[in-house]
Amino acid sequence: MTITRNGPDLARVVVADARHLEALMSIMRVGFDPHYGEAWSTAQLAGTLTLDGSFARQAVDANDNIQGFTLSRVVAGEAELLLVAVDPQLRQRGIGRLLVTQVADDVRRFGASAMFLEVRENNVAARQLYRSLGFADVGRRANYYTGSSGERFAAITMRRIVLD
Ligand SMILES: CC(C)(COP(=O)(O)OP(=O)(O)OC[C@H]1O[C@@H](n2cnc3c(N)ncnc32)[C@H](O)[C@@H]1OP(=O)(O)O)[C@@H](O)C(=O)NCCC(=O)NCCS
């Protein structure tokens, strides 16, 4: 099912589920800087996809090749954006914005009133993307992430109200 399209030869966002595990993992493997260890394993992703309220979306090109994905979960009226990643070769073309915008539309339909996420404090691209889509900083957890050399990074909790 096609949900959204951002141009004739750009990405469209479609549903992803357990059948697309390998495609999602192909972006997972290249989409996260190994220094921060934020990529999930196949087992983690597969397990989360089976949880109540969890859902994934993928951006695909005209040939249905995956360009990026999101993983989210709605629990008790609140949504959490767990992961978003775009193929490094395809960044800064609007795919990340398209994917996160689609999540906001989805969670509204699922009845969530707010959407939360956690992002590493020094993840400039992601924080800028979220800010540009109306997310605001609402919390900070010191030493939440650990880099491969042992250095620690804070997590910023961001929130966007999705229902008026
Ligand atoms: C964050 C990420 C998903 C953005 O995807 P993208 O397709 O490049 O983003 P878009 O092209 O839609 O950019 C949308 C906005 O994000 C911001 N942005 C994107 N890349 C940026 C960068 N390198 N530096 C600063 N801002 C950036 C800009 O505000 C941009 O709007 P603009 O084009 O009007 O300036 C991508 O960089 C990524 O996959 N990063 C690695 C995974 C990750 O860290 N995920 C987040 C934590 S789970």
| Domain presence at residue 154 | no
Is 53 within a domain? yes
Q: Is the pLDDT of residue 10 over 80?
A: no
Question: 92, 119, 132: which to mutate for ligand 1, most atoms within 8 A of CB?
Answer: 92
Asked if the structure places residue 63 within a domain, the reply is: yes
Strands (E), the chain: 2-5, 12-16, 54-60, 66-75, 78-86, 114-120, 136-146, 152-161
- 36 catalytic? Reply is no
Q: Is residue 23 part of a domain?
A: yes
Which of 129, 156, 158 maximizes ligand 1 atoms within 8 Å of its Cβ, making it the mutation to test the pocket? 129
Does 8 fall in a domain? Answer: yes
Residue 158 belongs to a domain: no
Query: Does 6 have pLDDT greater than 90?
Result: no
The predicted pLDDT at position 11 comes to 82
CATH number at residue 102: 3.40.630.30
Question: Residues 29-49: pLDDT tens digits?
Answer: 999 999 999 999 999 999 999
**Overall domain count for the chain:** 1
Domain assignment present for residue 85? The answer is yes
Percent of the chain having pLDDT more than 70?
Answer: 93
Is there a domain that residue 82 lies in? yes
Residue 6's domain spans which residues? 2-117
